[in-house]
Structure 1
C-alpha cells in the first residue's frame, strides 16, 4: 500500500499559545491525544513541532487514512493560517514512531524547518545539520533524540 505524506505550518490559536509551552495535561496535550487515538485506527503516524506560537506538522500513512486525518486538521479550531508545505507520495514511512506526538522546539528551529525544501520529501543521510539540509533532514534530526528513547 502506498504511503503518502503531508507537511504544513500554522499559527496556534490564542488559547494554545497562552498556555505554557511544555505543560503536560494542557489543551495541546488533549488535542494531540485525540489525534493519536484517531490516527492509530487510520494507520497514520506523525509529529507536531510547537515553538509556543507556531506549528509544523508532518503526517504520513495510507491515502484514505491520511486524507481523513488531514481534513480533521484543516477543520480544527486549535490553529489558523494553515500553509501546506508539501503533499505527496513517500516510498516508505519516515517517522513510524508515534500515531501523533508533539515536541517543543525553539522558534529558530521551527522557522528553519518550515522554510526548508520539502520537495519530494527528500532525505539525505547525515545531512541534518548541513546548510543543504532538506525539510525532511531537519525534521528527522529534531525527532531522532525522542525516537531513540523508545
Structure 2
C-alpha cells in the first residue's frame, strides 16, 4: 500500500488557548488513528509545523481537516509526496514544544525529498526530514 506524507507550516490563530491546543491535538489523534495516519506537530507559541503520513485516502482526509481548521492561518505547504515507510509510526498525532529557531529551521529546510540522509549523501547536508527526526528523537527515546 503506497504511503504519502505532507508537511506544512502555519500561523497559530490569535484566539487559540492552551486548552484549545490540547483539545485540538487530542481530537486530531483520534481522527488520525481512524484514518491510519501518524504524525507530529511542533509548536513554538506562534507557529506550527506539522508532518503527517499514511495511506493516500487517510492523508487526504486529514489534510482536508487541516485546511478547514480555524486554529491556524497562513498555511504554507512545504512538501507532499510518496514515502517508502513511516518516519513517525509511534504517534497518531503528538505535539512537541519547539523554539522559534527550530520551527524556522523546519519551515526553511529542503523538503524536496522525504528520505533521511544516508551514508552516500553529501556530508553535512540535512533535509527537512533529517531536521525533524533529530528534533523528535529525544521524545521518542524518553517514551
TM-score of the superposition, structure 2-length normalised?
Answer: 0.93
Q: Which residue of 2 aligns with 1:6?
A: 6
User: After the TM superposition, which residues 106-117 of structure 1 pair with which residues of structure 2 at under 5 Å, given as runs?
Assistant: 106-117=99-110
Whether 1:91 and 2:90 are equivalent positions in the alignment is no
Whether 1:134 and 2:114 are equivalent positions in the alignment is no
Q: Which residue of 1 aligns with 2:21?
A: 28
- CA gap of 1:137–1:62, structure 2 versus 1, over 3 A, is same
Which of structure 1's runs of 4+ aligned residues deviate more than 6 A?
none
TM-score of the superposition, structure 1-length normalised?
Answer: 0.89
**Offset at residue 125 of structure 1 (A):** 4.7
**Offset at residue 106 of structure 1 (A):** 0.6
- CA gap of 1:15–1:125, structure 2 versus 1, over 3 A, is farther
Q: Which residue of 2 aligns with 1:37?
A: 30
Alpha-carbon displacement from aligned partner over 1:106-126 (angstroms, at most 9, x marks no partner)? 101110011000012131159
Secondary structure at the aligned position of 1:121 is classed as coil
CA–CA distance in 2 between the matches of 1:145 and 1:15?
30
CA–CA distance in 2 between the matches of 1:9 and 1:56?
4
CA–CA distance in 1 between the matches of 2:6 and 2:67?
12
Unaligned runs of 5+ in 2: none
